């Protein structure tokens, strides 16, 4: 039994008050509640009773958190798979080449190069988040999850892609800094492409 538009409009006010922050998750929760209400009404339960029972059963905050966790885990896999694509590798090589030119032009030591490179990648990722906030994109959970995943990967990589660690493992400092630079370039390009993809999907819909 399909709900009328008037009945669906009665569901939406129950999700106000900051329980659901993201517009797309709010719409998905409305659909979820509507579906459960329809199932209950098929058994002969009146709409008002079915709606009240369903609203008591569903915790909006938990519903939102489950979707956000699933999105973040999904984007980790997506970004990892994108890192293996030829187009991502090519773009990463171009970004890596720019960094190599900068490192050699300014004659940075490996230690200074590591500091500058990591600072730039992290600050650029934060800058993207600020731009998204200004552009109103942070009300969409997919865009936010893609951006968060990129930022988290870049931050975690700071500990894994460590110059001292690589030198301790036996790599020459210049080779180590080049490896760090290329790895961060690949992570950044793959993650950024997913953020752009999710943003474009939002503009289409």
Q: What is the pLDDT of residues 83-93, one digit of tens each?
A: 999 999 999 99
Whether residues 129 and 192 fall in one domain: yes
Whether residues 105 and 150 fall in one domain: yes
Q: What is the Cα 196 distance to its own chain's centre?
A: 11
pLDDT of residue 10: 83
The whole-chain average pLDDT of the chain stands at 89
pLDDT of residue 14: 65
Q: What is the value of pTM for the model shown?
A: 0.87
Burial category of 94 from C-beta neighbours within 10 Å (exposed 0-12, middle 13-18, buried 19 and up): exposed
Query: How many domains are there within the chain?
Result: 2
Residue 36 covered by a domain: yes
Residue 24 covered by a domain: yes
39-51: pLDDT as tens digits: 988 988 888 898 8
129-166: pLDDT as tens digits: 777 666 667 789 999 999 999 999 999 998 999 999 99
Residue 101 pLDDT > 70 = yes
Whether residues 125 and 32 fall in one domain: no
46: its two tokens: 């009146």
Domain containing residue 110: 71-204
pLDDT of residue 2: 81
Residue 19 pLDDT > 90 = no
Please state, in angstroms and rounded to a whole number, the distance separating the CA atoms of residues 63 and 136: 23
Residue 66 covered by a domain: no
């Amino acid at each position: 039994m399909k709900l009328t538009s008037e009945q669906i409009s009665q569901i939406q006010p129950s999700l106000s008050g900051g329980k659901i922050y993201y517009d797309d998750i709010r719409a998905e929760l409305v659909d979820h509640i509507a579906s459960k209400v329809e199932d209950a009404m098929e058994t002969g339960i009146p709409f008002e009773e079915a709606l009240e029972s369903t609203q008591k059963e569903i915790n909006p905050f938990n519903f939102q958190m489950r979707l956000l966790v699933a999105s973040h885990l999904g984007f980790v896999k997506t970004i990892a798979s994108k890192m293996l694509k030829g187009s991502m590798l090519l773009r990463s090589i171009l970004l890596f080449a720019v960094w190599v030119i900068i490192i050699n032009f300014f004659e940075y030591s490996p230690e200074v190069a590591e500091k500058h490179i990591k600072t730039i990648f992290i600050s650029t990722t934060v800058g993207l988040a600020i731009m998204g906030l200004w552009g109103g994109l942070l009300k969409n959970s997919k865009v936010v999850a893609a951006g968060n995943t990129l930022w988290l990967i870049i931050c975690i990589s700071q500990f894994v892609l460590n110059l001292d660690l690589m030198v301790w493992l036996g790599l020459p400092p210049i080779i180590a800094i080049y490896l760090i630079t290329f790895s961060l370039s690949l992570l950044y390009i793959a993650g950024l492409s997913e953020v752009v993809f999710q943003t474009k999907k939002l503009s289409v819909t």
